[in-house]
Amino acid sequence: MAAAPSGSASPDPDAKDPAQTPTPSTGWVGGIPAGRIFGVPLVVSPAWVLLVIAGMLIVPAGLRQHIKGLSTTGSVVAALGLILLIYGAVLAHEASHVIVAKTLNLKVGRVVLQLLGAQSEVLDEPQTPGRAFVIAAAGPMTSVFLAGIGAVVGARFATDSVGWVLAWSVAWINGLVAAFNLLPGLPLDGGQMLRAAIWHLTGDKLRALLIAGWIGRGVALALGVVGFVAPSVFASDSTFGALYLCFIAVFVWSNASISIAQARVGAAVPTLSVSKFVRPALTVEAQLPLAEAVRRARDIGARALVVVDGRDRWAGIVSEAAVQATPVERQPWMTVSDLARPVEAGLVLSANLGGEDLMTAIQRTPATEYLVADSDGLLRGVLARADLVAALRAAGIR
């Protein structure tokens, strides 16, 4: 499966908060920790465990049909060996992504062994299309190499032997993995390679991501059509193959859609500016009852409260969410300072800030509201993070 760049420069509009850079999962989130691959955590999805169990129930009978005289115990051992060889090859595919990415000094979060194979999470965005292409191409090339080894080894065994079945299964599976991953649509390796090529030709990384994402949707539709319309392409038992292919189509479509949304969000980031989203604010003293502060804000149309000290210096910001979460009957008995967050350096933004600089500033100091000041140090109002999130989500789903 593709080496997925999880920490791209564009926020993910499908994340809980598009303005927050995603971080790699740890512990038991998303699967079971199962060691490391070249220093990168390996996580096993519970669905993969179920797939292995299903394989152990189905594969031995198939082996006994093909290899005459194979005992029940022998077929179970051979089935286990086949499954381990296949997923060993899948891990080798992902390990190649990891090795190349780390060689290029990019951070890799983890490798996840899942129902559809595996996926490596490259957290740093490659800075050049050439690097992105090499990272993506490493996986399919490894699979092609392993397919060749399987074919060479298989040729040394008789066609009715366990060695022949195991070797040619490895050859066939790796060839299939390579061919599938080379399909030219995100999130597959072929899609990553196509994205890198378009990026190189146009010099526009976001356009490349958008185009490769749409082509990924086309690949997903094609896979779905094959699964529904032409199940006969799968051996004798076509039902499982057709359903599995449709499941893959859904996976490719959903991930391609995420890429499209990321491209749209990335294109929207340069248009963001503090001045565009600033809310009018009311300055109040710390000991003012919350109910009175809310009443004064409503009277003048202010949507934010800023606490000032005795020298009229900014001392705190009151979260709109905190006010809304406070029951009306309690507000007369609470002071503004009870809900205020102390002002620190990262909570004061310049009114001229925008684009990537704005995103970097709010990611560096996460908060729900920020003070906005002009070049003379005068308060212009408050920037609510929720307004930025709404704008980014709107850009991602349009």
Is residue 229 domain-shared with residue 324, that is, in the same domain?
no
Q: Same domain for 188 and 119?
A: yes
Of 99, 100, 322, 7, the closest CA to residue 331 belongs to 322
DSSP single-letter state for residue 24: -
pLDDT at 397 exceeding the cut of 70 = no
Domain boundary among 253, 268, 283: 268
User: What's the average model confidence in pLDDT over 335-352?
Assistant: 87
On whether both 62 and 109 belong to a single domain, the answer is yes
Enclosing domain of residue 372:
274-397
Reply yes or no on whether the pLDDT at 321 is more than 50: yes
* Alpha carbon distance 20, 366 (integer Å): 8
Together in a domain, 249 and 297: no
Q: Are residues 172 and 119 in the same domain?
A: yes
Interval 360-368 mean pLDDT: 86
Q: DSSP per residue over 328-356, as a string? A: GGGGGGSBGGGTEEEP-GGGEEETT-BHH
Residue 349 and residue 238 share a domain: no
Among residues 268, 298, 323, the one where a domain terminates is 268
Report angle CA 389, 352, 268 to the nearest 5 degrees.
35
pLDDT at 10 over 60: no
Q: H-helix or E-strand containing 111?
A: strand 108-114
258 burial type by CB count under 10 A (0-12 exposed, 13-18 middle, 19+ buried): buried
Whether the upstream peptide bond of residue 187 has omega within 30° of 0, thus cis, is yes
Considering its fold, how many domains does the chain have in total? 2
Same domain, 83 and 19: yes
Average pLDDT over residues 13-39: 55
Q: Select from 247, 268, 289 the last residue of a domain.
A: 268
Higher pLDDT, 233 or 204: 204
Considering the domain architecture, whether residues 218 and 322 belong to the same structural domain is answered as no
> What pLDDT score does 236 carry?
47
On whether both 254 and 286 belong to a single domain, the answer is no
Measured at the alpha carbon of residue 184, what is the angle toward residues 181 and 188, in degrees to the nearest 5?
40
Which of 54-58, 81-85, 114-118, 389-393 has the weakest average pLDDT? 114-118
One domain, residues 28 and 117: yes
Write down the pLDDT at residue 24: 37
3-state secondary structure of 120: strand
| 111-125, 205-219, 280-294: range with lowest mean pLDDT | 111-125
Q: Work out whether the CA dihedral 349, 354, 360, 363 comes out positive or negative.
A: positive
Distance CA 293, CA 86 (A): 66
In this structure, what CATH number is given to the domain that contains residue 379? 3.10.580.10
Q: Give 178-199 pLDDT, tens digit per residue.
A: 999 999 999 999 999 999 999 9
Kindly state whether residues 36 and 103 are assigned to the same domain.
Answer: yes
| Mean pLDDT, all residues of the chain | 83
Q: pLDDT band for position 23 (50/70/90)?
A: very low
Q: What is the pLDDT of residue 16?
A: 44
Q: Give the CA count within 13 Å in the CB-facing half-sphere of 251.
A: 16
DSSP label of 5: E
Question: Would you say the C-alpha torsion 250, 253, 258, 259 has a positive or negative sign?
Answer: positive
pLDDT digits (tens, 9 = 90+) for 92-138: 999 999 999 999 999 888 888 877 677 888 888 898 999 999 999 99
How far the first Cα of the chain sits from its last, in Å, is: 28
| pLDDT, position 320 | 81
Q: What is the pLDDT of residues 225-244, one digit of tens each?
A: 887 776 555 444 556 667 77
- In this prediction the pTM is 0.74
pLDDT band at 169 (very low <50, low <70, confident <90, very high): confident
Q: How confident is the model at residue 4 (pLDDT cuts 50, 70, 90)?
A: low
pLDDT, mean of residues 206-210: 93
CB of 282 closer than 8 Å to CB of 297? yes
Strand-strand pairing, 304-308 and 281-285: parallel
Contact 56, 76 (CB under 8 A): yes
Over its C-alpha atoms, the chain yields an Rg (Å, rounded) of: 28
Q: CB–CB of 220/213 below 8 Å?
A: no
User: Which residues lie closer than 8 Å to 263 by C-beta, 6 or more apart?
Assistant: 10, 206, 207, 209, 210, 213
